[in-house]
Structure 1
Amino acid sequence: MKSRISVPRLALRWATAAIIIVALAVTSAIVANRTLFSAEHAVESLHKHLIAGEGAEALGLMGAQVPQGDAVALDGEVLKRTQAGITEFDAQKADPSENDPDVHTVIAKYKANGVDQESTYTLRRSGKSWLFFDQWSFEPVTLPTVQIKANTVNEVAVNDQKIPLVKGVSTLAVFYPSITDASFSTKNFEADTRGVVVTGPAKEPVEISLKTQPTKEFIAQVNSKVRTYLNECAAQQVLMPSGCPFAYHTPSRVNPETIEWSIAKYPTIEVNYYNGAWVLSPLKVTAKLSLTEQDLRTGTLEKKTVNEQFSFTAQLTTSTSEVSVVPVAGTEE
């Protein structure tokens, strides 16, 4: 005997199934709105654009104002490098404002080169799509800047990208969070890498002041020029070599053929930056003199060897690749 389901009962089953499907759809929409269409998801999306080097997309999402300055860190490979040290990025649950429920604050926690940091974003609910899904817009901000200062050079490397300096300064607009590293290396001067972490907008630029140091090659050049100068002085077979820091005074008669200068100890080279220029610290040289003196009263001949220390200075004229050393004869100490 075949059983039959009445039409009303079948309609009830279909209605129940439809209600369940609608309920599941609504529940799924609510869950999606709280995750895929949440304020914190918008922050996560921004971060994905940054690590991908997609500066235009990130800027469009933020709607941020770009300050004056070099924009090299706002797109492409340089942007990617500013994000390389940002790890474990996690946008926390949005916190609604007490004064305006459409305004939410999202705190993103992360590590910057292994150090715990956080950034704060403010977003506004700007509408809905498909009735259920919130749309979020970042509240307008002006991107932060990093100001790089360095002396003696006209360009530096920022995250492996060379950028020009104007009177020793360059200002870069950056996203946040970001890590900006700066350094430079030339034939004569260099500066170790210094980096800053930018976590949010700021009225004043974050500064990187690079400490310039002479290279070993530069010191070697100066040392070589000073030694050449002293060797040329020692080659003069006179008691007072012309334009030189050392001299010998005696009331006795001296046969010029017996005069022999040599350098017993060369100066130690020390270069410092002072009043906008590189200067050479005062130099000390120990000169050795061998000669034969003749007493004017008795005519007696006496061989002598004298070691004396003398001081002098030298003027430096430098560039990133050249150096000029002009010694200035000094006095005996």
Structure 2
Amino acid sequence: MDQPQSTSPRRRRLWVDLTALAVVGVLLLGAIAAGGASLYKEYYGPGAFVTRYLDLLAAGRAADALHVPGVAIDRDTLQEAGIEVTASEALLRQAALAPLSEIDVVDEVTTDGVTSVTVSYVAGSHPGTSTFDVTQDGWEGVTPNWRFAHTPLAAISLNVLGSDQFAVNGFELDRRQVSSAGAEAAPLDALPMLVFTPGLYSVTVDTAISTSPGVSVLADSPLTQTPVDLQTKPTEEFLAVVQTRVEEFLTECTTQQVLQPTACPFGLEVQNRIANLPTWTITTQPTVTVEPDGAGWQIPATDAVAHIEVDIRSLFDGSIEHVSEDVPFRVNGTISILPDGSASIRVGSAGA
């Protein structure tokens, strides 16, 4: 007698269980792969390498950031990038760093073994993005090492007019300290200075002579040199000093009992002879202003009035005439800032 063939319930259950285990295994392998990829990207990939560099800057660890592979720079690289080889490293320190936050990797593109990592951030209060080129630098066990294919350093070319002293992000500097020319640094020569990218650099001046609310530049492109020009303005204290010095100079001129005081901006011409020594006074002192003049300052021409008292003897008949006369004149001047920080003020005549 033929018996009907059928699949036992136990076999069906086994098949279902095996199928479920296979599906779970595939899902588990997928999860492990996805987790591994995520772990690699977060901790071991080129984006993670760049993020660690930015985290060092955000923490103010400038010295450690300089030791990140590929950050250090040589003269040949500077020259090829068009950056002055004498660029100062004075700003590559914690005291010159501005706050850096909200760091996020937004893109990674690999071409010919070089990965371009684009990051967004907030430098100070300014949002920005920068792209860094990263290449693999061997292995450490089963994880890759990375280095910057091109240094993330850049430079600013700073030109501060009206002051040798200035501050960058509150870090005080002197032109003669950072210039390769030292004490011989010319006031109009730009100062090339290396900086980290990304970074916000705010240049301000606050001295007894000059002041400026400052100018800020966001260094966001590696191996570029950005010009930064800052024109200061005279302080109220400096203006008061210049006013006093000019008044003292003109008052000193009045002590010369001659018709044409030597090296002074006023005088009187007569055709006859004087019968006594003339007496000068300043009846209206000039109201002095100070304006920028290249790396120094100038006193623009301004009006003033002197007064002379003198007796004039006529060459024709010997008669004497008393002259009491106001003599208008114009005065100007130049101001140079000396190496010790003092001001040399030269007063001249701007013509009547």
Q: TM-score, normalised by structure 2?
A: 0.68
Matching residue of 2:46: 39
What is the alpha-carbon distance in structure 1 between the residues aligned to residue 136 and residue 294 of structure 2? 55
Residues 1:216 and 2:226 are matched in the alignment: no
Paired residue type of 1:53: G
Matching residue of 1:207: 227
Residues 1:265 and 2:284 are matched in the alignment: yes
Cα–Cα, structure 1 residues 247 and 59, in superposed 2: closer, same or farther, change >3 Å?
closer
CA-atom RMSD, angstroms? 4.2
Residues 1:94 and 2:114 are matched in the alignment: no
**Within-5 A mapping of 1:1-333:** 23=29, 25-67=32-74, 68=85, 69-78=87-96, 81-82=97-98, 84=99, 86-97=100-111, 100=112, 102-125=113-136, 135-141=145-151, 143-151=153-161, 153-163=163-173, 164-166=177-179, 167=185, 168=187, 169-203=190-224, 205-234=225-254, 240=259, 242-243=261-262, 244-248=264-268, 262-274=281-293, 278-288=297-307, 306-314=325-333, 316-319=335-338, 321-328=341-348, 333=352
Cα–Cα, structure 1 residues 29 and 235, in superposed 2: closer, same or farther, change >3 Å?
same
Residue 322 of structure 1 and its aligned partner are, at CA, apart by: 2.2
Residue 264 of structure 1 and its aligned partner are, at CA, apart by: 3.4
What is the alpha-carbon distance in structure 2 between the residues aligned to residue 187 and residue 59 of structure 1? 36
Residue 313 of structure 1 and its aligned partner are, at CA, apart by: 4.6
1:155–1:165 Cα contact (<8 Å) kept: no
SS in 2 for 1:240: coil
Residue 211 of structure 1 and its aligned partner are, at CA, apart by: 1.7
What is the alpha-carbon distance in structure 1 between the residues aligned to residue 158 and residue 350 of structure 2? 40
Matching residue of 1:3: none
What is the alpha-carbon distance in structure 1 between the residues aligned to residue 162 and residue 289 of structure 2? 17
Residue 316 of structure 1 and its aligned partner are, at CA, apart by: 4.3
1:245–1:310 Cα contact (<8 Å) kept: yes
2:204–2:215 Cα contact (<8 Å) kept: yes
Identity %: 19
Residue 176 of structure 1 and its aligned partner are, at CA, apart by: 0.9
Question: Which range moves more in the overlay, 287-296 or 41-50?
Answer: 287-296
What is the alpha-carbon distance in structure 1 between the residues aligned to residue 303 and residue 202 of structure 2? 40
What is the alpha-carbon distance in structure 2 between the residues aligned to residue 182 and residue 128 of structure 1? 42
Q: TM-score, normalised by structure 1?
A: 0.71
> Could you report, residue by residue, the CA deviation over 1:88-134 in whole angstroms, capped at 9, with x for unpaired residues?
3221142333xx4x543221123344444210122335567675x55
SS in 2 for 1:31: helix
1:64–1:141 Cα contact (<8 Å) kept: yes
SS in 2 for 1:285: strand
Cα–Cα, structure 1 residues 324 and 136, in superposed 2: closer, same or farther, change >3 Å?
closer
What are structure 1's unaligned runs of at least 5 residues? Answer: 1-8
> Could you report, residue by residue, the CA deviation over 1:267-308 in whole angstroms, capped at 9, with x for unpaired residues?
2324445476544333431234578999998x9998x86444
1:156–1:165 Cα contact (<8 Å) kept: no
Paired residue type of 2:304: V
1:65–1:140 Cα contact (<8 Å) kept: no
What are structure 2's unaligned runs of at least 5 residues? Answer: 1-13, 75-84, 180-184
Paired residue type of 1:146: I
